[in-house]
Amino acid sequence: MTMFRLAWRSLMAHPVRSGVLAGGFGLGVSVMANLLGIGEVMLEQVRSPALAGGGDLVIAGDLGEVQSARYVLSGVLGTPPLEGRAAAVSPSLRSLVYLVPDDGADPVQIEAQGRIPSLERALGAAETADVAGWTDTAADRAWVNPELDDVVRAMDRFHPIPDAPEWADGWAEWLYFNGRAGDTRFYLTFLVGPSRPEGRRAAGVRLQVTDAGGAWSFSESADVDAETVLAEAPDLTIGRNRVRLVNGRYRITLDLPATVTGPDAGPDDADRHRGERATGEIVLEATRGRALPPLTIRGARGWTSGYTVPVMSGRLSGRVTVDGAERSLDGGSGYHDHNWGHWAGVSWQWGQVVGDGLSFVYGRVHPPAEAADPSRMPGFLMVSGPDGPIGYASRLSITEEDDPETGEPRRVVVETRGFTMQLRLEVDIDEVTTTRMDRAGFGAGLEFYQLRARFHVTGRIGERTIDLTAPGAAETFRGR
C-alpha cells in the first residue's frame, strides 16, 4: 500500500515526466519482445533443411575452410555409426572471382560459390532447382564416392619443398610402417630428404626387426628423382626397395643390408654383420574411415610440419627373412603414418597402440623456438574403432619419466579430460633403441628413442568405458 501511495504522489507531482518514463519503458519492452521473436524465427530458418545451404549439421574448420572435406564425407559420415543417419550432406566452397572486361574497364569482383549439384538438390536447395543444365560432372561423382585407393593416395601424397631458405636443409618426408605378428615386430621407414644437384633428392630405407631371438637393423641409401617422387608417391622406389599402393593395400618389397648401430660399434661389429641381409614382401591393408586426415602446422618464415595416419590399424600379411630365417607376418596387424616438414631442431613425442578393436595414436611436435613457441603447440589423441573414428582431442598432457641411472625414458603418461573423452594412457617401456642424431641441422645434439612398450588405457569415450592393456610403440627425444 505504501508503494502505491508513493507512485501516485510522484505521478501527481510530475505528470509529464512520469508519462514519458512509462512510455519509454513500454517501448523498450516492446522492442525486446520483437527482437526475441525475430531471433527465434531466424534460428529456425537457419536450421531448416528446405533452405539453400541450410541443414541440421554444419561442419567447419577452426580456421575457416575444412581441409579434409572429402575424408569427412567418406570416412566419417560415410561409415558407422553416422552412416545413414544424414539424409543429405553437401560441401560448399566460397571464393572471390574477378571479371575482367574486354574493353579495359575496371575488373568486377564477385563472390562465387562452388557446390555439387546432386547433393545440393538432395538438401532441397531452391536456388538452382530449375537449372536443368546444372548436373554432376565425372569429377563431382568421383569426389562424392571416391575409391578407397583414391582417398588413401590423396592423404599419402608427397609435398613440394616450400620456398623457405632458412629451413630448407632440414626438409624431409617419410612413410613409416610398423607391425606385429606373434612375437615378431618390425619398424620400417622410407624417407626422402633434402634436394641434391640435378633434380635429385637424398633418400633412404631403414628396417628394424625384433623377436624373442633378438633385434636386427638394416638400411640403405640412394638418390631419387625429385619429380618422380612428387608425381608417384606414396609409390616409392629407393634402391632395391619399393612401396606400391594397389586397391587400398600397401605392397612393400625389401632387400636391405645389415646396419651396425650403437655408439660403441667398431670394425669388429662391421665384420660380424657383413653379408647379412633382410628381404621380404609385406602387405598392409587400409580400411575406410580408420585414418587420421592430414594436419599441418606452420610457423615463422615458412617453417612447416605435417602429419597424417592413412592406416590406424590394418590387416598384415607377408614375410620378412633375416639372414636366412623367415618370419611370417600373416594374421598380424600393422600401422602406417606419414610425416613431412622442416626437421632441423625439431623433436616430438609420439605413441601408438591397438587393442580390443580400438586404435590409439597420440603425439606432439616441438619446433625450434625461432619457428614457433614450443610451449603453445597443440598435441593430438585420436581413437578409432572398427568402423571409423570415435574420439579426438587436441588438449592433452604428455609426461615422461626417466630411469635415474641410465637417463633413458622408462614411463610415459598421456592424459586428456575433455567433455566427451576422458582417457589416461600409461606407457611402460620394455625396450629402448637409441639413435644419435649427429647429422648437422637435423636433430643434431639429440638422442632419438624408439620404444617398445606396454600400454594401459583407461577412461571413457562418450558412454563407453575403456580399460585395455596391449603392446605398442612410442618415440621421444633427449638432449645430449
Sorted by where each begins, the domain ranges of the chain are 21-47, 69-129+136-146, 168-291+317-332, 344-480
Q: pLDDT: is 64 or 188 the higher one?
A: 188
Q: How does 401-436 read in b/e, with b if 16+ C-beta sit within 10 Å?
A: eeeeeeeebbebebbbeeeebbbebbbebeebbebe
Q: Which residue has the cell 575406410?
A: 288
DSSP-derived letter for residue 123 is T
| Cα maximum dimension of the chain | 113
Give the model's pLDDT for residue 318: 97
Q: Confidence class of residue 29 from pLDDT cuts 50, 70 and 90?
A: low
Q: Check residue 27 and give its pLDDT.
A: 62
Strand order in the sheet with 358-366: 388-393, 380-385, 358-366, 347-355, 464-479, 446-461, 421-437, 409-417, 397-402
Name the H helices within 247-290: 267-273
Could you give the 3-state DSSP secondary structure of residue 150?
helix
Q: Are 382 and 389 in contact (CB under 8 A)?
A: yes
Q: Cα 232 vs. chain centroid, distance in angstroms?
A: 21
pLDDT digits (tens, 9 = 90+) for 345-403: 899 999 999 999 999 999 999 999 999 988 888 899 999 988 788 888 989 999 999 99
Domain 168-291+317-332 has CATH 2.40.370: yes
Q: Which of 177, 191, 357 is nearest to 285 (CA)?
A: 177
Cell numbers placing 407: 637417463
Q: Is the dihedral of CA 356, 150, 74, 306 positive or negative?
A: positive
CA gap 185, 364 in Å, rounded? 24
pLDDT tens string 73-87: 766 666 666 666 676
pLDDT of residue 258: 92
Out of 97-106, 234-243, 314-323, 407-416, least confident range: 97-106
Residue 111 is predicted with a pLDDT of 85
- The share of the chain scoring above pLDDT 70, in percent, equals 77
Query: Which has the minimum average pLDDT: 137-141, 205-209, 272-276?
Result: 272-276
pLDDT at 206 over 60: yes
Per residue in 232-275, pLDDT (tens digit) is: 999 999 999 999 999 999 999 999 999 865 444 444 444 444 45
Would you give the DSSP letter of residue 127? T
pLDDT of the residue at 112:
85
As a whole-number percent, the residues of the chain with pLDDT over 90 amount to 50
